[in-house]
Structure 1
Amino acid sequence: MSKQGYHHGNLRQALVEAALRLIEEKGPTGFTLSEAAKSAGVTPAAVYRHFEGREALIEEGARQGYAIFADLMEHAWADGKPSALAAFGAVGRAYLAFARRYPGHYMAMFESGISPNRVPALAPLAERAHAVMERATAALTAHLPADRRPLPAMVAAHIWAMSHGVVELYARGEPGARAPFPPDDLLETGIGVYLRGLGIIDADR
């Protein structure tokens, strides 16, 4: 990003994009505010017109990431079409797709130490993404008798943790360098084993 962004009145977003590139290259704590300013083509003093400091800059990157993430999750769920099971799988794959396509945002969201619980701007966006998984789980378990139906929030949390684990262990860095199987296959198989174990889907599916 050059100084052209500043001349067009887009300095704030230019700084966010510069920070996201640096986060992707060096990690959330591996860059300075001066480096972000230099990458955006402005002086460090100009940053303070828009952000109080580096953490505020990272928070904005995380906020934008959560908004994109929630949109992707909702698009993947697609109101449970063509079936609750197919849509549920699509939601899991959307998690991996987001981490691959938006690594800077992903790292700002999940690896910077910034928590939606203490940043008011992040909380509703993070909750929107979580709500998609809970709706998907509720739809997928609706056919079970009430006394055998697991809590949607619990199942959603387990699937979320599984998706996050696959991303962190096997979907980051050089493809195939750390896993004997494609991350998408690992996640799909793991979700299948989990859902069958709970009796949510039949053993032969």
Structure 2
Amino acid sequence: MSPKPSAAEVKAKLIEAAIRLLADGGPEALQARKLAAEIGASTMAVYTHFGGMGALVDEVAREGFRRLSANLGGVQETDDPAADILTLALAYRQTVVENPQLYAVTFGQSQPNGQKAALGDMTNEETRQNLSEEGIVAFSYLVRAAERVIKAGRFRPAPEFAVAAQLWSAVHGYITLEVAGYFGDGENGVEQILVPLATTLGVGLGDTLEAATESVRVSIESWRANEGNIDT
């Protein structure tokens, strides 16, 4: 007889099942009955291990941030911190494109069964403490990138958190629109929107047009070579 799975194992299976259901059927598919069937358990398992669907949705969102952090953490820092910002943006984009339903829940854009993931105000130090640790870790990659580019003298002096929040707003806004289909198929939006946006942001934050253009070129050419996402 197989040993009875631990509570942690059951919770992990439920979270993975929730992510599969989201990917296959969208937020409407995320139901306690379907979750239980996915792992061969009773519906009560959802309530025993999470207390309800609301807490499960929060855990799904935390897993979304963990996966985002894993991909952002895979971006190697180079001697061009401005180029690294676009490389992070491309890693962020790829993460969301591969599982848009998960990230719609993670960022509160989707509410399965009326349940919205708990979010928090990131605009000041006190309220940031209320955010999930996973969300803070994901955002820290952008804060680190902002700090590096400011120290390098490429962006004008400013609080790195504020700069990171501006970068996040622009990148996340672009990705949300791309995933919704507003920029066409494939990587058309990367070429037509994201690349020039990266240059515009760099100049707006204090870089020279020449330096920003060169950093964007370095980053996007590396992405093309490694991913082969854009025909040249």
TM range (shorter): 0.7 to 0.9
The alignment's TM-score, normalised by the length of structure 1, stands at 0.79
Q: Residue 62 of structure 2 contacts residue 132 of structure 2 at CA under 8 Å; is this kept in 1? A: no
How far apart are the structure 2 equivalents of 1:121 and 1:60? 15
Q: How many residues align?
A: 194
Q: Identify the residue that residue 32 of structure 1 maps to in structure 2.
A: 31
CA root-mean-square deviation = 3.0
Q: Identify the residue that residue 84 of structure 2 maps to in structure 1.
A: 87
Shift of the alpha carbon at 1:92?
0.7
Q: Residue 73 of structure 1 contacts residue 95 of structure 1 at CA under 8 Å; is this kept in 2? A: yes
Q: Identify the residue that residue 179 of structure 2 maps to in structure 1.
A: 171
Of the three residues 122, 126, 139, the one matched with 2:135 is: 126
Q: Deviations over 1:155-193 (max 9, x none)?
A: 211211111112211134xxxx53156233322221211
Check if 1:100 corresponds to 2:97. Answer: yes
Check if 1:117 corresponds to 2:126. Answer: no
Opposite residue 169 of structure 1, the aligned amino acid is L
Opposite residue 140 of structure 2, the aligned amino acid is A
Q: Deviations over 1:31-85 (max 9, x none)?
A: 3211211222222123233121111111111112212212222222x3x314212
Q: Deviations over 1:115-165 (max 9, x none)?
A: 3439x896222111212111111211224399x423322221121111111
Q: Residue 68 of structure 2 contacts residue 95 of structure 2 at CA under 8 Å; is this kept in 1? A: yes
Mapping 1:28-67, distance limit 5 Å: 28=27, 31-67=30-66
Of the three residues 136, 146, 150, the one matched with 2:145 is: 136
Q: Identify the residue that residue 183 of structure 1 maps to in structure 2.
A: 189
Q: Residue 96 of structure 1 contacts residue 167 of structure 1 at CA under 8 Å; is this kept in 2? A: yes
Q: Identify the residue that residue 196 of structure 1 maps to in structure 2.
A: 203
Gaps of 5+ in 1: none
Shift of the alpha carbon at 1:91?
0.8
Q: Identify the residue that residue 157 of structure 1 maps to in structure 2.
A: 165
Q: Residue 21 of structure 1 contacts residue 104 of structure 1 at CA under 8 Å; is this kept in 2? A: no
